[in-house]
Structure 1
Amino acid sequence: MTFETGISDIAFGVVDLTPGDNAAAAFSYTFSDSRYEVSVWGPGGKQAIDDTSSGLKPVNHALAEGPSYAAVHTSGRPGEFSLEGAAFSNLDEDGRVSVSAMQAYTFTLSANSVLTLSGNFYQRVSEAQLPGYFQSGVNRVELSFTSPDLPIYGGYYSSLVLNRESDLHVDRDLWLAYANTSNQAVTIDVTFSVENYSIIYSDLPIAAVPEPSTWAMLAAGMLTVGAIARRRHRHA
């Protein structure tokens, strides 16, 4: 099972809802929190990275066990990061990999203004060529807007869950807006969150379905065994 996810080309803007009031629309923001987690479970146990201190600095975290791996990369720009990983049969029983990333910002938006966010995101979850293994993968992207000053929640959520399909993917542009229609500036918390994990169950082999020719050979063999058994019964 393989996966990849990314958010890129993030841009913030502002729209003035009352252009005739001589008060310019504006916004400002500060970084408030981040977390990057990478894990690989294999025969040697669990390897893990839990980074809560990098902030907006570029991040390149990766873990691997054989061909299986998980990685997260950030550019240092707000809301932009990429994640990737793969879980293969070398991880043995209940092998899995996971990676997640989160960044949070606090915005101040002027009265009678709209905060806009645009960008691009992609998601992909693909089944690996592992005959005899059950594979499962989950890929989530969430962008959220919340405010202690306004009783409105906004955002975008996309989730891919692969169980039986061979491949799922999304690649699209996004545009979000959060309006402050009050006559005073408000605070808005904006959070970017991505989560991926892949699991393989090597202890649950999928029984192969015999080909028609195999069924014919099995049937002929059963008839032969039955004939021999009847012969022996008559001679007894």
Structure 2
Amino acid sequence: MYAHLNKFSLCALAALAAAWAPAQAASSTVAASIDHFQYQLVDLDLADGISPSIIFANERWSSETYGAGQQQSLAAPGTTSIVTEFGTSGTTLSHSTLSSTASVNFPVPADGVKHLYWNRNSHSASFTLSPNTQLIFTGVARLSEQLVQKFDYSAGRIKMQGTLGDEADLMSTFEKSYLTNDGAATINLYGMLISDAQARQGQFSLETAASLSAPIAPIPSVPEPSSYAMLLAGTCLVGAVARRRRRAVARQAA
């Protein structure tokens, strides 16, 4: 008899646990990064006796990271990280790398709260470029967006741009900008600026951003276990009762 009760208890408890257990955890993620950023100088006039050179000034860094009401900032190379039970956001900021990440765990809790995680970065500087010089910027951009549910807003973005000269005498300029779509992509970035016979002033900037905003899930009035799990528990109960009755009848007959 006790063996029967133990088997029944295990069966029913397992079914009820399956009814109430949350779905297997998964995460929606958005990421955007620029890696291996560097520059190269090319001498366009070997006869002028001027070696290619670049002098940087006014270098600026900025990073803002947000998640679950928390916020972190950077004004110099470094990292940020916000990790909660519902999601994450963070960044890496250096001379060669800018990265932005945001993730939200699934399923989004039904707590009536808006779950928002994001990061945005920028790195910029002005410079003086020597005469008759080609300045080449390169880097590797990576964008990815993997969503396991519908979001109010999801986006990843990278941007690299540069200008040489001023508004009255703009020598050259470039801009590379990309946004995420569903999936992942790797892009080789290339930008070029060329000075004339004079030293020229210019500037460059890099940007990355990632953001996820989950829809607000209203608090349910009465959570209920699934019908299938309840049916399974009921089947276990009926089977156990039937076996006990058969054994009782067999003992009486004996």
Q: Please report the TM-score for the alignment, with normalisation by the length of structure 1.
A: 0.70
Unpaired segments ≥5 residues, structure 1 = 205-236
How far, CA to CA, are the matches of 1:14 and 1:87 in structure 2? 43
1:171 partnered with 2:186: yes
Q: CA deviation at 1:31?
A: 5.2
**What does 1:197-216 correspond to in 2, within 5 Å?**
197-203=211-217
Give 1:92 shift: 4.8
| 1:117 match | 137
Larger CA Rg, structure 1 vs 2: 2
Q: Which residue in the other structure is 1:94 paired with?
A: 114
The amino acid of 1:201's aligned partner reads: P
**CA distance 1:9–1:134, change in 2 (3 Å):** closer
CA shift digits 1:141-198 (9 cap, x unpaired): 01111345342432211112x5xxxx322112222111112x2111211111111101
Question: Alignment partner of 2:47: what SS?
Answer: helix
Q: How much does 1:8 deviate?
A: 1.4
Paired residues of 1:145 and 1:188 also in contact (CA < 8 A): yes
Distance in 2 between residues matched to 1:38 and 1:122, nearest whole Å: 19
1:23 corresponding residue in structure 2: 50
Matches within 5 A, 1:139-218: 139-149=156-166, 150-151=169-170, 152-160=172-180, 162=181, 167-181=182-196, 183-203=197-217
Q: What amino acid sits opposite 1:32 in the alignment?
A: E
Answering whether residue 122 of structure 2 is matched by residue 105 of structure 1, we say no
> Does 1:50 pair with 2:67?
no
Structure 2 unaligned regions, length at least 5: 1-27, 219-254
Aligned residues: 185
Q: Which residue of 2 aligns with 1:232?
A: none
- Does 2:111 correspond to 1:85? no
| Alignment correspondent of 1:4 | 31
TM superposition shift of 1:109: 0.6
**In 1, Cα distance between the equivalents of 2:112 and 2:44?**
58
Q: In structure 2, what residue type is equivalent to 1:50? A: S
Q: Give the structure-2-normalised TM-score.
A: 0.66
